[in-house]
Chains A and B, each alone.
Chain A
């Protein structure tokens, strides 16, 4: 095989009709917010471009990103997305194992030097020389650095690779760090979420294939097309928020009526993700629709921001777990008491010295 197959060829070989293929293209265009005119361009790119080799590494993680990815809602995903990106190495999904698998990694890296996309799921723990995550007999951090060296671009799948996630939560015994702390010389696309939405994952890859470049990123390196708005901004319960109608208790009338979950700690107002628009499992639902507040899983350090069920979250720096209002009322109370005391002494002193002056 002198040339790698194009995406289209792979799709056809997998038994996908041209009609389904075009449907996929327009759906992807819509998912990326590109408008109908882009569907033919995506189709054209798919028909002409070579498949992009992808190396998918797994560090300290739970594989929920992979689980999400393989459930990408579009019917073609299982056959197509995995084939279309030419997923050359993914130790979880690939058939081979051990030395055979390692071999493929080395070969792919050599063959497509500077061209492959490195997708990283999970993150490297740095404590004890990285001994908390061993992959192929070596600390994962070494494998990560090695594979990143010749990558064209790097995708940080999920909150682990993007922010650190649960393994980096206080006190972080393994000293797990997001991959951008280890790889500093390559562009990194962060696709946070625990896990990220399947369509967001495939959408990011499709964008990169279609346009041959990285999607536009925000300040924190997340693709703007999926992470530029908060869950709250597009939440279907938002009218209840604006109206001041809240779920106060989990079993109250408001909960049954589907009121806003703000007061029971929904993190929608502080979480940037596409859940309220793309939703999950073929657009069936998402946490808020299911009646539970957003826990902010795509935000930096969401494990360390106190309870999932409080609007005002705890501030750990104060030693005891207390929120801004508790600290504020305590300080204001203290100052108020001090003022009252001071005023009393002032009045006494003034009474004592009355007539002293002039």
Chain B
């Protein structure tokens, strides 16, 4: 798969004649664990946002006796379980960055010190401001997407996981694993209420990320020169044309 990619890019620099003859339409980008992780994360984050919202702003009071109800308990259980799943998935995803293909590292390592990277970020920005007629082709994430994924998703998720388990440690108690690993977060922010507030802001940060992410994915799927949404389902990147770059 990565061979076919090399063929393509290698072919580009030769001459225009070979490009036209070589049809390169699909590249395997997202390996099965990455795709699985993506959709598990999608599901868990939706659960986390919905349940988290109702933990901060509970639903209207339940009628009947306390013994017959356990709504808040179920909501919190769902939140904590989804939190565990998302965290384990995230750790697994980091592991996959080491053993997976080169695209599995894009999320974590944007090439911030490369001039070419920033030039292409500029190109992407111009594309989004309608100043470029034709977008560039990318097998993996484009540089702007890499930046966004790193700063919104990787940083955002890390923040939510760390603050989330710091809050979780409050219920687990002193000496619990989450207290030992993340308990120090609470005095760092001031006190528990501050961590709650920041965790809440983090939720909105993630929601804004999701909105942008989904919009851009749909838009690129329609307007760019490669497939987006189907790629995260099947793993193959389809290109819509055979022109270079």
Chain B CB within 8 A of A331 CB: yes
**Chain B positions 186-233 with a Cβ under 8 Å from a chain A Cβ:** 186-187, 190-194, 196-197, 200-201, 203-204, 207-208, 211-212, 215, 219, 222-223
Convert B132-153 into 0s and 1s, putting 1 for each residue whose CB lies closer than 8 angstroms to a CB of A.
0110000000000000000000
Contacts A219-B183, A224-B174 given; does A346 touch B191 at CB 8 Å: no
Point out the residues of chain A lying under 8 angstroms from B73, CB to CB.
242-243
Kindly state whether residue B234 has any CB partner on chain A within 8 Å: no
Please, which residue of chain A has its CB at the minimum distance from the CB of B202? A324
Task: Report the count of interface residues on A (CB-CB < 8 A).
Answer: 57
- Identify the closest chain B residue to A330 (Cβ): B204
Complex Cα gap A324–B204 (Å): 8
Stretch at the interface among B7-15, B30-38, B56-64, B101-109: B56-64
Cα distance A228–B20 in the bound complex, in angstroms? 71
Most B CB contacts (10 A, CB to CB) among A259, A271, A335 go to A335
A315 within 8 A of B: yes
Q: Is the interface of B mostly helix, strand, loop or mixed?
A: helix
Contacts A254-B61, A328-B200 given; does A358 touch B241 at CB 8 Å: yes
Residues B193 and A244 in contact, CB atoms below 8 Å apart? no
| Count of residues in B whose CB is under 8 Å from the partner chain | 49
- Complex contact B192–A270 (CB within 8 A): yes
Find chain A residues with CB under 8 A from B57 CB: 311-312, 325
In the complex, A233 has a CB within 8 A of chain B: yes
B170 close to A301 (CB less than 8 A): no
**A300-B191, A331-B204, A339-B212 given; A244·B197 CB < 8 A:** no
Say yes or no for B112: interface residue by CB 8 A criterion: no
Q: Residue A23 at the B interface, CB < 8 A?
A: no
Contacts of B173 in A (CB 8 A): 228-229
Residues of A close to B192: CB separation below 8 A: 230, 269-272, 299
Within 8 A of B (CB), among A236-259: 239-246, 248, 254, 259
Q: How far is the CA of A218 from the CA of B179 in the complex (A)?
A: 11
A203 at the interface (CB under 8 A from B): no
B113 at the interface (CB under 8 A from A): no
| Contact between chains at A244 and B190 (CB < 8 Å) | no
Which residues of the partner chain B approach A313 to less than 8 Å between Cβ atoms? 193, 197
Q: CB within 8 A of B200: which of A218, A259, A305, A325?
A: A325
Is B92 part of the binding interface, using a Cβ–Cβ cutoff of 8 Å? no
A342 near B170: Cβ-Cβ < 8 Å: no
Pair B193/A339 contact, Cβ less than 8 Å: no
Q: Does B158 reach chain A (CB closer than 8 Å)?
A: no
Task: Judge whether A343 is part of the interface by a CB distance below 8 angstroms.
Answer: yes
A336 within 8 A of B: yes
* Complex contacts, B98 vs chain A, CB 8 Å: none
Which residues A211-225 have CB closer than 8 A to chain B?
A: 218-220, 224
Cα of A224 to Cα of B190 in the assembled complex, Å: 18
Known: A240-B66, A245-B62. A311 touches B212 (CB 8 A): no
- Collect the chain B residues with CB atoms within 8 Å of residue A244's CB: 58-59, 61-62, 69-72, 75
Q: Which of A244, A331, A345, A350 has the most CB of B within 10 A?
A: A244
> Inside 8 A of A224's CB, which chain B residues have their CB?
174
Q: Knowing A228-B173, A270-B193, A343-B219 touch, does A243 contact B201 (C-beta < 8 A)?
A: no
Please give 14 more A-B residue pairs, beta carbons under 8 A apart, in addition to A245-B69, A269-B192: A219-B186, A228-B174, A233-B171, A240-B66, A243-B68, A243-B72, A244-B58, A244-B69, A270-B191, A313-B197, A315-B197, A324-B203, A327-B204, A336-B211
- Measured CB to CB, the residues of A under 8 A from B are 218-220, 224, 228-230, 233, 239-246, 248, 254, 259, 262-263, 267, 269-272, 296, 299-302, 305, 311-313, 315, 323-325, 327-329, 331-332, 335-336, 339, 342-343, 345-346, 349-350, 353, 356-358
Could you list which residues of chain B lie within 8 angstroms of chain A, going by C-beta atoms? Answer: 56-62, 66-73, 75, 128, 130, 133-134, 170-171, 173-174, 183-184, 186-187, 190-194, 196-197, 200-201, 203-204, 207-208, 211-212, 215, 219, 222-223, 241, 243
Q: What are 13 A-B pairs at a CB distance below 8 A?
A: A219-B183, A230-B192, A242-B72, A243-B66, A311-B57, A325-B57, A325-B204, A332-B211, A336-B211, A342-B215, A343-B215, A345-B130, A349-B130
